[in-house]
Amino acid sequence: MPDILHRISIDAPVARVHDLIAGTEGIARWWTGRPLDGSAGIGGRFGVYFADADKPAAVMRVTADTPGEISWRVEQGPGSWLDTLITFTLRPHGEEGTTLLFTHAGWQEASEFMSGCSTNWGAYLTSLKTGAESGRFTPYPQGEISRWS
């Protein structure tokens, strides 16, 4: 099964990066630009919304939340996302930096949609990086690079 992989160097402490990934308010800041519903704590479920949608684009269950790793299993969303696992592994780098290893694993097949998702994940992870470093985020729609409509 193909996976999306990204490695990002962030000039911010692991704790700051973790907080932006592990809570719904943080996720909204760097990814969706809109509030999420639900809980991002271990075992919790949350939905992500884009634009003016009334229903979530995807619903994730939090499967891991430690200082070094946050994982979400996709329970609802685009068909090719179902049952995939999104993992953020955080490693200290130097005195105040973080290396983020991102994986969106378990895709059934490589496709044009997967390629577009990989491109957009890269953009949103850049939003996370820039926001963690400077407080200036570029969530959806500014951060979207590969558009579907």
The pTM score is 0.96
- Other beta carbons less than 10 A from residue 59's beta carbon: 20
Average pLDDT over residues 105-133: 97
Q: How many CA atoms lie within 13 A of 81 on its CB side?
A: 18
Instruction: Give dist(CA 6, CA 127) in Å, integer.
Output: 14
All domains of the chain, ordered by start, with CATH? 4-134 (3.30.530.20)
pLDDT at residue 24, as a whole number: 95
pLDDT at 53 > cutoff 70: yes
CA distance 14 to 91: 7
12-35, pLDDT tens digit by residue?
A: 999 999 999 999 999 999 999 999
> DSSP string spanning 48-102?
E--TT-SS-SEEEEEEEEETTEEEEEEEESSGGGTT-EEEEEEEEETTTEEEEEE
Question: What percent of the chain has pLDDT above 70?
Answer: 99
Instruction: Report the distance separating Cα 59 and Cα 44, nearest Å.
Output: 10
Given a cut of 70, is residue 149 above it in pLDDT? no
Write down the pLDDT at residue 143. 82
